[in-house]
């Protein structure tokens, strides 16, 4: 074994490429998109390092071009989940005892593969499979996932360095053991980086994982798995299964060696999973770690001193990038009446220039929503706002699913601050604005704080330092990520550790030391260099005469 205390390479955020006309990356991505569109793939599950085919094929298509076939994946059932659990448990002992620097090497290599030879492929898969434009794919699939791997390695070493004091004659130390059993990574459709990080983070800390991606993100999950394998993640350490949510949860959570879940997705699913774990608690060898980042009803609150142009742009970018399908997307805004006419005008002017269409055309800012059920749900809320007396659709609202699931960027004005679209997560390109009377600013802050069950992200816009402090204090529990004069989206690994409280999750801050700590079980070891040879202490000796 190599002997020494090693420094890992300094983690820096992966530079975001511009994809500007004439750039090499633009040409490469275009060519990769063309190539990937021109052939149909067949994706097997990967269990114990083997390709597993169920024969039950499910079709994959771009959300923006539903007639086009990207390929098929093999849909599994409970038997495949059990196979994946067995493969993970079989790989556990070897992986858990591998020296940490070799685990680090695997994920550092994964970062370099991703940032280099796989960059265009993973970006293209995300663009085609999840309808993301080139820039949104780049910041997610390429940069954020590479950041998760590199900063994960750095944070792991910071954890290993957390050691107790040792008094004279003894030596104390902490050993950060992987959990006993296997971890279930249950991942959402909207961020390729999250899909990759949820299995990778526990594996980095020495755990073995069963990974179930969202059925609408299987296409990019297949590429992530290719990267894991090429980087040298050993067979059985991360097992990829394509099964329905309930089948996966039922099979995993019945198993005595289920040791934890790393989840990102909707609040309802997370609560149902937590309930199932509670019901089965007597079955498990240890208490499963439950880590879940869930929904949001993210806000922008402005006062009359706000920089109006910056506020309106934050509303457009914050609410409509990736069609509002970011957990952090601004979906409710509170604007004072004194500046609303100007904000409304800028909003209207900017939104009129937004180009909607397939991401393969790089000039499109705006693409399709993920699937038909999301489309129908959003169209329903928009229709309802058209007829409700408490709301008006003031921009956008057009929905068309003839070619793909296209919904225009939509702004609803609500006349009741508790109108349904001010309260519920819609997860799409719909921003609801409530215009408040300037003199009711404080009361409106209270309303904001009490309107929704979520507390994920929020932004305030003001140039008044007293107000900035006041808003920051009053909204202390309204968001896990809080932005001052900035949009509430776009958290960067290593810079703004991400996660929310209240109904939005356990707030373990993905990519940070706080998250990685959840995937280890600490053993504290004490060695005594001079153990006592008598059971009594000096005070038991009789007084001297
Ligand atoms: P989702 O909850 O529908 O799905 C997440 C995963 O759970 C998928 O793999 C899905 O197949 C599975 N699943 C679905 N129903 C299940 C069930 N009954 N039992 C067990 N598993 C089940 O979420 P989504 O639509 O993929 O993603 C969007 C949601 O994720 C939004 O609510 C968004 O706010 C949230 N999100 C949160 C964060 C965050 O960091 N807080 C980040 C991204 C997304």
pLDDT in tens, 473-526: 999 999 999 999 999 999 999 999 999 999 999 999 999 999 999 999 999 999
Residue 259 contacts residue 286 (beta carbons within 8 Å) = yes
What's the gap in Å between 370 CA and the centre of ligand 1?
13
Mean pLDDT per 10-residue run, the chain (545 residues)?
88 98 98 98 98 98 98 98 98 97 98 98 98 98 98 98 98 98 98 98 98 98 98 98 98 98 98 98 98 98 98 98 98 98 98 98 98 98 98 98 98 98 98 98 98 98 98 98 98 97 97 98 98 94 88
3-state secondary structure of 521: strand
* CA proximity to 53, closest of 64, 38, 43: 43
What's the gap in Å between 166 CA and the centre of ligand 1?
45
Instruction: Please state the atom number of ligand 1 nearest to the C-alpha of residue 217.
Output: 26
Residue-wise DSSP of 129-186: HH---HHHHIIIIIIIHHHHHHHHHHHHHHHHT------TTEEEEEEEEEPSSEEEEE
* Sequence-separated (6 or more) residues with CB below 8 Å from residue 432: 331, 332, 333, 391, 411, 412, 413, 414, 419, 421, 422
Question: Which DSSP category does 64 fall into?
Answer: T
What's the gap in Å between 540 CA and the centre of ligand 1?
64
> Cα separation of 528 and 381, whole Å?
67
Instruction: Please state the atom number of ligand 1 nearest to the C-alpha of residue 295.
Output: 34
Q: How far from the centroid of its chain's Cα atoms is residue 124's Cα?
A: 19
Residue 173 contacts residue 523 (beta carbons within 8 Å) = no
> Could you give all domains of the chain from N- to C-terminal order, each with its CATH number?
45-294+505-526 (3.40.605.10), 298-484 (3.40.309.10)
327 annotated active-site: yes
3-state secondary structure of 236: coil
What's the gap in Å between 213 CA and the centre of ligand 1?
10
293 annotated active-site: yes
pLDDT in tens, 518-539: 999 999 999 999 999 999 998 9
- Name the active-site residue from 155, 293, 408, 425: 293
pTM here is: 0.97
Instruction: Please state the atom number of ligand 1 nearest to the C-alpha of residue 504.
Output: 41
Q: Which of 141, 218, 266, 331 to mutate to test the pocket of ligand 1 (most atoms within 8 A of CB)?
A: 266
Phi, psi (deg, nearest 5) at residue 361 = -90, 110
Q: What is the pLDDT of residue 243?
A: 98
- Name the active-site residue from 138, 327, 360, 425: 327
Instruction: Please state the atom number of ligand 1 nearest to the C-alpha of residue 189.
Output: 26
Residue 369 contacts residue 356 (beta carbons within 8 Å) = no
Residue 201 contacts residue 189 (beta carbons within 8 Å) = no
Token match 């997860």: residue? Answer: 427
Q: What is the pLDDT of residue 125?
A: 98
Instruction: Please state the atom number of ligand 1 nearest to the C-alpha of residue 188.
Output: 26
Q: Which residues line ligand 1 (CB under 6 A)?
A: 186-191, 194, 212-215, 245-246, 249, 264-266, 269, 272-273, 293-296, 327, 425, 427, 456, 498, 500, 504-505
Q: What is the pLDDT of residue 81?
A: 98
What's the gap in Å between 1 CA and the centre of ligand 1?
42
What's the gap in Å between 522 CA and the centre of ligand 1?
30
pLDDT in tens, 99-112: 999 999 999 999 99
Q: What is the pLDDT of residue 170?
A: 98
Residues making up the chain, counted from first to last = 545
């Amino acid at each position: 074994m190599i002997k020494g205390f090693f420094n890992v390479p300094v983690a820096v955020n992966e530079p975001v490429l511009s994809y500007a006309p004439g750039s090499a990356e633009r040409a490469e991505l275009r060519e990769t998109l063309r190539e990937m569109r021109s052939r149909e793939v067949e994706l097997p599950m990967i269990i114990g390092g083997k390709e597993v085919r169920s024969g039950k094929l499910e079709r994959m298509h771009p959300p923006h071009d539903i007639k086009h076939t990207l390929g098929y994946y093999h849909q599994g059932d409970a038997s495949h989940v059990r196979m994946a659990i067995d493969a993970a448990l079989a790989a556990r002992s070897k992986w858990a005892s591998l020296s940490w620097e070799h685990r680090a090497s695997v994920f550092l290599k994964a970062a370099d593969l991703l940032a280099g030879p796989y960059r265009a492929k993973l970006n293209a898969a995300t663009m085609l499979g999840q309808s993301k434009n080139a820039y949104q794919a780049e910041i997610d699939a390429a940069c954020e996932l590479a950041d998760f791997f590199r900063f994960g390695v750095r944070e792991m070493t910071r954890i290993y360095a957390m050691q107790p004091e040792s008094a004279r004659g003894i030596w104390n130390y902490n050993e950060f053991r992987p959990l006993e059993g296997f971890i279930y990574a249950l991942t959402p459709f909207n961020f390729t980086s999250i899909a990759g990080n949820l299995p990778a983070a526990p594996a980095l800390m020495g755990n073995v994982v069963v990974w179930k991606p969202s059925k609408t993100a299987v296409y990019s999950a297949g590429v992530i798995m290719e990267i894991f394998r090429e980087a040298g993640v050993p067979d059985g350490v991360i097992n990829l299964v394509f099964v329905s949510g309930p089948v996966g949860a039922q099979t995993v959570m019945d198993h005595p060696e289920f040791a934890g879940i790393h989840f990102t997705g909707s609040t309802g699913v997370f609560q149902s999973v937590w309930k199932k774990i509670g019901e089965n608690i007597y079955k498990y060898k240890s208490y499963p770690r439950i880590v879940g980042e869930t929904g949001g009803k993210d806000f922008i609150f402005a006062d009359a001193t706000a920089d109006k142009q910056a506020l309106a742009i934050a509303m457009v970018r914050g609410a409509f990038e990736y069609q509002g399908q970011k957990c952090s997307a601004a979906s409710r805004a509170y604007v004072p009446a004194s500046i609303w006419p100007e904000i409304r005008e800028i909003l209207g002017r900017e939104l009129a220039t937004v180009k909607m269409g397939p991401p393969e055309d790089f000039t499109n800012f705006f693409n399709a929503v993920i699937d038909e059920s999301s489309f129908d749900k959003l169209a329903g809320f928009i229709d309802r706002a058209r007829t409700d007396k408490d709301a008006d659709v003031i921009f956008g609202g057009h929905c068309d699913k003839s070619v793909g699931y296209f919904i225009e960027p939509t702004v609803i004005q609500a006349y009741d601050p508790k109108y349904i679209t001010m309260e519920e997560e819609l997860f799409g390109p719909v921003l609801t604005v409530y215009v408040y009377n300037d003199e009711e600013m404080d009361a409106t802050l209270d309303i904001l704080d009490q309107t929704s069950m979520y507390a994920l992200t929020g932004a305030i816009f003001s140039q008044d330092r007293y107000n900035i402090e006041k808003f920051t204090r009053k909204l202390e529990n309204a968001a896990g990520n809080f932005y001052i004069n900035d949009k509430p989206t776009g958290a960067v690994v290593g810079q703004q550790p991400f996660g929310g409280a209240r109904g939005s999750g356990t707030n373990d801050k993905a990519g940070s030391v706080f998250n990685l700590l959840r995937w280890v079980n600490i053993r504290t070891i004490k060695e005594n260099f001079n153990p006592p040879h008598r059971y009594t202490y000096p005070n038991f000796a009789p007084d001297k005469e």
